[in-house]
Chains A and B, each alone.
Chain A
Amino acid sequence: MTLTAPSPYRVDAAGYYGTFGGAYVPEMLYPNVEELRDNYLRIIEEPGFQREFTQLLTDYVGRPTPLFLAERLSAHIGTTIYLKREDLCHTGAHKINNTIGQILVAKRLGKRRIVAETGAGQHGVATATVCALMGLECIVYMGAVDIERQRPNVDRMRMLGAQVVPARSGSQTLKDATNEAMRHWISNPTDTHYIIGSVVGPHPYPDMVSRFQSVISAEIIRQLLHQTGRATPDFVLACVGGGSNAAGAFYHYLDEPSVRLIAAEAAGQGVDTGHSAATTALGKPGILHGASTILMQTEDGQVTEPYSISAGLDYPGIGPQHAQLFATGRAEFMSITDKAALDAAFQLSRLEGIIPALETAHALACLPLIGAKKDDVVVVCLSGRGDKDLATYTKHLEEYS
């Protein structure tokens, strides 16, 4: 895929995707962000880095993850569905692709402590895991509400030796955990690296994280070619909280217009109910967590408290690259309710023997809505497994018995 003109969907030299992106950070964070911006490409392009990154993804994470032809689900929906099994990554989600990459960057920058935010706890667990692996101190901020609904992951982080700090401001979910992690970084500017868990935050985070997650679509290309004789599917589906699994699944297809990119957002109880996290449906351009992007906000520019059954999608913004994909129409954004996500989770469990994460279930719920024909090849990024969501699923078991 060689390109003559710069892609409108990739970051430009100034750190923007069209009008989105940039680094809207207070001066206290400027040196940290500048250090990262000036070094990340050099570091991740070093052969030694690439070797270590690839080796850890192989031997520790368990990559490549399989691309699985889901025959019963395909028959049920009436198209040809492949599942990219990120749920089989060590720690149970795609999040670890990014944390492996970032911890290697942090080490090369001489950092001794890691701070992170987490929603569902998957990114927190993936961060605590790589910190244990590398022997770095780990502090994870998590909304007090999320601590309650994602208990197993809190215990896993503690088992791994991380300190989990409840974020008690605002809605006490992912947005507030992110604020607290940023404040921690402000207070510890020289020895701490902030491992952001998605393609959000100031430049260069969105670009750096999407590069680490791009392994997802790099593998899809190889595996699809091997299994079907074609490298490009007709559709790629992924859920979007901040958008890192989607960014990775879309990465190598961004400039392939024949591939329809579908992003699933959490509609919560319904887009118009006031209890939703469907950012593109409800948001408008603004600034959140250091980036110009699309976010849910009041008329006065106050960030709205989102709602979703899924802690990992319970975020009022999306990464700046996704804002650009939305604004240009390159990706189609769909709003999926709690109920539709639950239906899809139970459906996958019973048809394929795979219990997906609640986040992932939002992507699966798009399958009947995209108008895929029988012979169309549809790849769903199965971003994570549902172990952490069992308490929620158990509450609904009766409805699906």
Chain B
Amino acid sequence: MNRLTNLFQHKTADVLNVYFTAGFPQLNDTVPVLRALQEAGADLVEIGMPYSDPVADGETIQRSNQQALENGMTVGKLFEQLQDIRQQGITVPILLMGYLNPVVQFGVEKFCQHCQAVGIDGVILPDLPLEVYEREYRPLFAEYGLKVVFLVTPQTSAARVRQLDALADGFIYLVAAAGTTGAQTDMNADVDAYLSRTKELGLRNPTLVGFGISDAASFAAASRHTTGAIIGSAFIRLLQQTPAGERTAAIHDFVAGIRPVLA
């Protein structure tokens, strides 16, 4: 069974998804970071395929993208790095997140084939329009066992949330507040109202909250009405700040610190 589907069958609360950029801080850090996250207890890992023009991302992730590109990261290179992770004890569900153009240039079907070959469970392509997905890509993604995640924001109408939920089969990514990744979201009453409003829609997919989740308090607030939350920029900052030799321990502490009760 798809690892993502399996995860949500067994875990319906406090799911922690951690995002990091492939090839960052160093080109060959992708797999070590992934392994450290699995060992630290992340439920789900989202690997970002770097892009030159990530319009939905704030400064922290932009810079990590730029650094990764300078390091020589490409879609092809990422698949090489991930080649036999599933034979080497990586069992955590993995999503690839990225902007559409590099995937289109790689070739969408070839991309799906490679995802299946290395054991990727799903994709998040934020600038892939819903109707283009439905018309052109849906059968392909299904054929190669890739689950699809769509974003929803506080401005998304209820009708459109239902439409997105009907086509998504991984989870629904709830963007906490209007803004790019890494924006300081305080988990205020507005956000809480939006999350509980979304919960009342009774979506068929699990929901994970992202954008501005950085610590135990924001994780707990975000998870109150949802299946869990996604941490990106705060984790990228950790990778930036930590010397390579201390990284595994730092990742362990970081993940443990997000869910102190569970750790």
Residues of chain A at the chain B interface (Cβ within 8 Å): 14, 22-28, 30-31, 169-170, 175, 179, 182-183, 186-190, 286-290, 297, 299-303
Question: A301 is contacted by which of B58, B102, B150 (Cβ under 8 Å)?
Answer: B102
Inter-chain contact total with CB atoms closer than 8 Å: 103
Question: A300 is contacted by which of B102, B126, B129, B160 (Cβ under 8 Å)?
Answer: B102
Q: Is the CB of A30 within 8 A of B160?
A: yes
Point out the residues of chain B lying under 8 angstroms from A189, CB to CB: 153, 155, 178
Point out the residues of chain B lying under 8 angstroms from A30, CB to CB: 156, 160
Residues of chain B at the chain A interface (Cβ within 8 Å): 51-53, 55-56, 58, 62, 66, 69, 74-76, 99-106, 126-129, 131-132, 150-153, 155-157, 160, 164, 175, 178-180, 183
How many Å lie between the Cα of A300 and that of B100 in the bound state?
11
How many Å lie between the Cα of A303 and that of B51 in the bound state?
8
Q: Is the CB of A183 within 8 A of B180?
A: yes
Q: Would you give the shortest CB distance from A274 to chain B, in whole angstroms?
A: 16
Point out the residues of chain B lying under 8 angstroms from A288, CB to CB: 53, 101
A300 with B127, Cβ < 8 A, contacts A27-B150, A286-B104 known: no
Q: Would you give the shortest CB distance from B69 to chain A, in whole angstroms?
A: 6
Apart from A28-B56, A289-B53, 17 more pairs, CB < 8 Å: A14-B131, A24-B127, A27-B151, A27-B152, A27-B175, A28-B153, A28-B175, A183-B180, A186-B180, A288-B53, A288-B101, A290-B127, A297-B105, A300-B106, A301-B51, A302-B51, A303-B53
Q: Would you give the shortest CB distance from A18 to chain B, in whole angstroms?
A: 15
Question: A25 is contacted by which of B51, B104, B127, B160 (Cβ under 8 Å)?
Answer: B127
Identify the 7 closest CB pairs spanning chains A and B, nearest first: A301-B105, A301-B102, A27-B151, A26-B126, A302-B52, A26-B56, A300-B74
A31 with B53, Cβ < 8 A, contacts A186-B178, A186-B180, A287-B101 known: no
How many Å lie between the Cα of A28 and that of B127 in the bound state?
10
Q: Is the CB of A301 within 8 A of B156?
A: no
Point out the residues of chain B lying under 8 angstroms from A303, CB to CB: 52-53, 101
- Among A182, A183, A186, A300, the one with the most B-chain Cβ atoms within 10 Å of its Cβ is A300
Q: Is the CB of B151 within 8 A of A31?
A: no
Point out the residues of chain A lying under 8 angstroms from B62, CB to CB: 169
Question: B127 is contacted by which of A26, A175, A179, A301 (Cβ under 8 Å)?
Answer: A26
Q: Is the CB of B128 within 8 A of A31?
A: no
Q: Could you list some 24 contacts between A and B, CB below 8 A?
A: A22-B132, A25-B129, A26-B55, A26-B56, A27-B152, A28-B153, A28-B179, A31-B153, A175-B53, A183-B56, A186-B55, A186-B178, A186-B180, A286-B101, A287-B101, A287-B104, A288-B53, A288-B101, A290-B127, A299-B105, A300-B74, A301-B51, A301-B75, A302-B69
A187 with B76, Cβ < 8 A, contacts A28-B56, A287-B104, A288-B53 known: no
Q: Would you give the shortest CB distance from B122 to chain A, in whole angstroms?
A: 16
Point out the residues of chain B lying under 8 angstroms from A188, CB to CB: 178
- Among B56, B66, B75, the one with the most A-chain Cβ atoms within 10 Å of its Cβ is B56
Q: Would you give the shortest CB distance from A14 to chain B, in whole angstroms?
A: 8
A183 with B128, Cβ < 8 A, contacts A189-B155, A287-B100, A300-B75 known: no
A26 with B52, Cβ < 8 A, contacts A186-B179, A187-B178, A301-B105 known: no
Q: Is the CB of A24 within 8 A of B100?
A: yes
Q: Is the CB of B126 within 8 A of A27?
A: yes
With both beta carbons as reference points, the residue of chain A lying nearest to B62 in the complex is identified as A169
Q: Is the CB of A301 within 8 A of B178?
A: no
A302 with B102, Cβ < 8 A, contacts A27-B126, A187-B178 known: yes
How many Å lie between the Cα of A28 and that of B175 in the bound state?
8
With both beta carbons as reference points, the residue of chain A lying nearest to B75 in the complex is identified as A300
How many Å lie between the Cα of A237 and that of B134 in the bound state?
40
How many Å lie between the Cα of A182 and that of B179 in the bound state?
10
How many Å lie between the Cα of A6 and that of B173 in the bound state?
39
Q: Would you give the shortest CB distance from B233 to chain A, in whole angstroms?
A: 14
